[in-house]
């Protein structure tokens, strides 16, 4: 009980008021990067609280971009919408390119509301000061190739023809990138590495010529095309490494996301110095990997890379939950379901925070006793797009030291499934509560 009382004394209750995050704003200070995590990809409260914090960072701290664990071209359609430069008539329409599994991760009610808010805020801002929305992930190889070709068709028809010849290397694999990765990774087929690198180099070689044209708009369009070309190069490598082991592909993906964030900071900094970016990703990407079991396997992540580069200019904030419901699938490309989240395992951080007895709170390390109590390594839960409650310990837990992993955590004791914009029957028909822990 002494343990729980010490943590409670250091906790800042979240009661849904404007002043909930005052102490967090003080802690963030003049930091240029705020990384907001999530313990699952499908919990309403995580999206909701990230949006609340982000709105204050935009309005009070001058943050000018949100970078998400989303594919670059899909997110850029949203960026164009919130910037007032697209033909989409609504936030839901602007989220229309999120078709790949798991579409509900970004095509949901909470993101729709946040995107609508971004659009409204931007209406009164000049072109160079609008809040942007960007994706950091690398799964969009085909969409990114199409985006590069679309840009070059407008900018340089000869360069577009060269790009088509290079990207044709992928044609006989169709949409099956895992087949490409298997064939290229094991030397069964000649890979496309040289072609995608040549295309990126060619695009960069002509940058000065392309950027002479229309000032800010041309610079933004070129940056979008360049990042797509870089994504194609990294995605090609990612799919080749998939069959070399999880660590290699994980590290490549997180390195790509960190490099994209660096490129975004540099791009935005060319307009105004001191640009600030909010990052929305899963805890497993944003919590410093060196404080978790991940590092023992040789894995790195965005949180570690950001801390190494930006130091105290970056603030890492994690989220936890004890139980509730979650939007997830039971298998990759499986139907979207609203699933019951089992109570956290007794030896986990989530169980310890549950015993504090507060429905929602922020915990920072300004209270030395709370920090010292949480420094004991414990299990931490991570639910991605797949949730397998019957293999919960093996599938969803890893060891971590939370005060070293994050600069602060937000605990929402009971969370609820995020609502997809395209809710199917499998989501609407909520599972009956499971009889934890026997399942009988």
- Sketch the domain layout of the chain as residue ranges: 1-58+277-440, 138-243
Q: What is the pLDDT of residue 430?
A: 53
Distance CA 277, CA 135 (A): 12
Distance CA 162, CA 146 (A): 14
**What distances in angstroms separate CA 401 from CA 9, 54, 266, 404, one per listed residue?**
20, 26, 32, 6
Which pair of structure tokens corresponds to residue 39? 């313990």
Which phi and psi angles does 137 have, rounded to 5°? -85, 175
Distance CA 48, CA 87 (A): 27
Q: What is the pLDDT of residue 70?
A: 97
Distance CA 109, CA 400 (A): 32
Smallest CA-to-CA distance from 254 within 306, 292, 291, 297 is with 306
Cβ–Cβ contacts within 10 Å for residue 138, how many? 26
Q: What is the pLDDT of residue 7?
A: 85
Evaluate the omega torsion of the peptide bond into residue 357 and state whether it is cis, within 30 degrees of 0. no
List, run by run, the mean pLDDT of 10-residue segments along the chain (440 residues). Answer: 73 92 96 98 98 97 96 96 94 95 95 98 90 95 94 92 93 74 67 91 89 69 94 91 84 96 93 88 98 95 98 97 97 94 96 94 86 91 96 95 97 97 74 38
Cβ–Cβ contacts within 10 Å for residue 218, how many? 14
Which phi and psi angles does 361 have, rounded to 5°? -155, 160
In this prediction the pTM is 0.92
Q: What is the pLDDT of residue 297?
A: 92
Evaluate the omega torsion of the peptide bond into residue 376 and state whether it is cis, within 30 degrees of 0. no
Q: What is the pLDDT of residue 349?
A: 96
Q: Which fold has domain 1-58+277-440?
A: EreA/ChaN-like  fold (3.40.1660)
Task: Compute the C-alpha angle 41/47/52, nearest 5°.
Answer: 160
Q: What is the pLDDT of residue 79?
A: 97
Q: What is the pLDDT of residue 209?
A: 83
């Amino acid at each position: 009980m002494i343990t729980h009382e010490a943590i409670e004394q250091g906790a800042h209750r979240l009661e849904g008021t404007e002043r909930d995050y005052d102490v967090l704003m003080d802690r963030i200070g003049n930091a240029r990067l705020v990384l907001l995590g999530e313990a699952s990809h499908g919990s309403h409260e995580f999206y909701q609280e990230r949006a609340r914090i982000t709105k204050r960072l935009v309005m009070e701290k001058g943050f000018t971009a949100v970078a998400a664990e989303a594919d670059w071209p899909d997110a850029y359609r949203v960026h164009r919408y919130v910037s007032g430069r697209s033909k989409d008539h609504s936030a839901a329409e602007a989220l229309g390119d999120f078709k790949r599994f798991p579409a509900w991760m970004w095509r949901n009610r909470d993101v729709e509301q946040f995107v609508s808010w971004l659009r409204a805020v931007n209406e009164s801002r000049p072109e160079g000061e609008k809040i942007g929305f960007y994706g950091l992930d690398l799964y969009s190889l085909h969409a990114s190739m199409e985006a590069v070709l679309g840009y070059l068709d407008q900018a340089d028809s000869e360069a577009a023809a060269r790009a088509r010849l290079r990207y044709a290397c992928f044609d006989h694999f169709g949409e099956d990138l895992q087949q490409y990765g298997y064939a290229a990774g094991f030397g069964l087929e000649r890979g496309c590495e040289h072609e995608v690198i040549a295309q990126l180099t060619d695009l960069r070689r002509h940058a000065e010529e392309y950027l002479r044209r229309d000032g800010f708009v041309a610079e933004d369009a070129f940056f979008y095309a360049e990042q797509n070309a870089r994504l194609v190069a990294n995605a090609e490598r990612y799919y080749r490494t998939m069959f070399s082991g999880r660590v290699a592909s994980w590290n490549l993906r997180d390195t790509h996301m960190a490099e994209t964030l660096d490129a975004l900071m540099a791009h935005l900094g060319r307009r105004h110095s001191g640009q600030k970016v909010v990052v929305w990703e899963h805890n497993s990407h944003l919590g410093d990997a060196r404080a978790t079991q991940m590092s023992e396997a040789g894995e790195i992540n965005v949180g570690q890379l950001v801390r190494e580069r930006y130091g105290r200019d970056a603030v890492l904030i994690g989220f936890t939950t004890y139980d509730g419901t979650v939007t997830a699938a039971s298998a990759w490309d499986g139907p979207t379901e609203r699933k019951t989240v089992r109570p956290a395992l007794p030896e986990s951080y989530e169980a310890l925070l549950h015993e504090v007895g507060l429905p929602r709170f922020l915990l920072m390390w300004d209270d030395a006793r709370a920090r010292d109590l949480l420094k004991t390594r414990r299990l931490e839960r991570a639910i991605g797009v797949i949730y397998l409650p019957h293999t919960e310990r093996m599938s969803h837990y890893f060891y971590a030291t939370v005060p070293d992993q994050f600069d602060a955590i937000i605990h929402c004791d009971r969370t609820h499934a995020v609502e997809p914009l395209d809710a199917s029957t499998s989501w609407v028909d909520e599972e009956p509560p499971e009889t934890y822990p026997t399942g009988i």
